[in-house]
Structure 1
Amino acid sequence: MKSVSSPVRLCMSVKQLSKKFGKFQAVSNLNVDFYNNEVCCLLGHNGAGKTTVTSILVGMLEPTSGSVSISGLDNQENIEEVRKEIGFCPQYDILYPELSIKEHLELVAKMRHMDVEATEESVENILQLIGLSNERLTLAKNLSGGMQRRLSIGISMIGDPKVLILDEPTSGI
């Protein structure tokens, strides 16, 4: 019997990526490729440039030089299309205190232009996945730090993005 494996497909490519802040070189000539269904980790000491790299990958920060392409699209030239492909959980939780867990997930689904049926299914799946189904109506301001972090991770997964970028995902959990 012959084994048939699915082809390995390039998902994100980083070429000669550099970032300077004034005279400080935060990132220098980073080259790396990421493939579909691959889990990767960016490790480094404090101040090594990890958050700078993630900010460039998601299009929040422009590189000084180099390029990032996601699904074959340059993230600077095609930022709106690229953002549809990315789920991002920043280093610090960004939540609206007066919104419930469910309302946060629904808001992001609306921002991603998901239809009602897809939104309901995605929200339910994510609530189960992050273990917050029973707290779905709890306001963000009443959540523990660990629950807020789980919500932030859940928010990044709305819309089943092709690329999921998590900055310090286990902080506070």
Structure 2
Amino acid sequence: MIAVKVDQLSKRFGDFVAVDDISFEVPRGQIFGFLGPNGAGKTTTIRMLLGLLRPSAGSATVLGLDVQRQAETLRQRIGYMSQKFSLYNDLTVDENLNFYAGVYGVRGARLRQRKADILAMAGLVGRQRTLTRHLSGGWKQRLALGAAMLHEPEMLFLDEPTAGVDPLSRRTFWNLLYEQAAAGVTILVTTHYMDEAENCQALAFIQRGRLVASGSPQEIKETQMHSQVLEVTCDQPDAAVVALRKLGIFEEVALYGAQLHVITPDAAARQAVVTQTLTAAGVHVLALAVIPPSLEDVFIASVGGARHV
């Protein structure tokens, strides 16, 4: 069963092409990750799938409903959590849930049960009378997810839901998503965090409005990364990046934590020139190793390659 089907979808704003002829599918019950740099077209795509923005060309269905002709029906079956915190800081936790319940038409005994479920899920039991502005970023995030789920949607659209949230809160949030996916809820999430992307069952990379890679994390690593990764450990990684990029012979040189990842077709053969170049630049090389590419390596290579198309 397919939850989302996108067929040659495009969106133009005057002469600017925000989304350029993209196609993909999301099976039901799957966590689907949508990755790309700022301005790549992620949010524009989501807004079209929500029926908030009319496509310039192409078509899309969500839960079998046409996003243009059946948008009102669709909104009763999906939940949406935007990039920016969308609840009201001057209302309490309970008042925010009541407001969103009214929007979705959840009332009476069902509302009481749903609020109890949401408060338990989000760990907010006992905080119902707390003003939302007094909640930490992690609590606000879980409250926003709970509000999006009040009406028991079949699908959730989450646009950068963990931006600016500490790692522990991010992990707690993703545990909640896994529980929802296990219960059959389909989730489409945009993220900048590669560790989160690794936890998605399928991914799509978008750059300048175009899809540049798609598949499971493992499939993308195996099919999209034709070069190799040389990991460099040295005492001056910032200076090392500058020195190696000046050579102009590598596909990409990027910092990866305390190490450098050098992407090149033949990593083993390039070890000598890397060592010589860094030594000449006054950088002490501590270790060199050819390693399997990470998802971040593949993402950088895919997006970098798309810039030159």
Scaled by the length of structure 1, what TM-score is found? Answer: 0.89
Aligned residue for 2:46, secondary structure, equals: helix
Q: How far apart are the structure 1 equivalents of 2:37 and 2:19?
A: 13
Are 2:108 and 1:155 equivalent residues in the alignment? no
**% identical equivalent positions:** 38
Q: How far apart are the structure 2 equivalents of 1:60 and 1:143?
A: 30
1:23 alignment partner, one of 4, 11, 15 = 15
Q: Which residue of 2 aligns with 1:5?
A: none
Aligned residue for 1:66, secondary structure, equals: strand
Matches within 5 A, 1:4-23: 9-23=1-15
1:109 alignment partner, one of 101, 108, 120 = 101
Q: Which residue of 1 aligns with 2:80?
A: 88
Q: How far apart are the structure 1 equivalents of 2:140 and 2:56?
A: 33
Q: How far apart are the structure 2 equivalents of 1:109 and 1:167?
A: 21
Q: Which residue of 2 aligns with 1:52?
A: 44
After the TM superposition, which of the residue ranges 41-50 and 113-122 deviates more from structure 2?
113-122
Q: Which residue of 2 aligns with 1:72?
A: 64
1:37 alignment partner, one of 29, 32, 49 = 29
Q: How far apart are the structure 1 equivalents of 2:163 and 2:124?
A: 17
Q: How far apart are the structure 2 equivalents of 1:36 and 1:87?
A: 15
Q: Which residue of 1 aligns with 2:135?
A: 143
Identify the structure with bigger relative contact order (alpha carbons < 8 Å, sequence gap 6+): 1
- What letter is aligned with 2:162? T
Q: Which has the higher strand share?
A: 2
> What's the offset of the Cα at 1:114?
1.8
- What letter is aligned with 1:52? T
Q: Which residue of 2 aligns with 1:124?
A: 116
Instruction: Identify unmatched segments of 5+ residues in structure 1.
Output: 1-8
Find the structure with the greater CA-based Rg: 2
Q: How far apart are the structure 2 equivalents of 1:81 and 1:98?
A: 31
Q: Which residue of 2 aligns with 1:97?
A: 89
Q: Which residue of 1 aligns with 2:267?
A: none
- What letter is aligned with 1:102? D
> What's the offset of the Cα at 1:32?
1.2
Aligned residue for 1:41, secondary structure, equals: strand
2:162 alignment partner, one of 163, 170, 173 = 170
| Count of equivalent residues | 165
Instruction: Identify unmatched segments of 5+ residues in structure 2.
Output: 166-309
Q: How far apart are the structure 2 equivalents of 1:118 and 1:153?
A: 18
Regions of 4+ moved over 6 Å: none
Q: How far apart are the structure 2 equivalents of 1:144 and 1:34?
A: 33
C-alpha RMSD of matched pairs (Å): 1.4
> What's the offset of the Cα at 1:92?
0.4
- What letter is aligned with 2:87? L
Aligned residue for 2:86, secondary structure, equals: coil
Aligned residue for 2:17, secondary structure, equals: strand
> What's the offset of the Cα at 1:48?
0.8
Q: How far apart are the structure 1 equivalents of 2:136 and 2:164?
A: 9
CA offset digits 1:72-111 (Å, max 9, x no partner): 2111111110101110000101122221112211221222
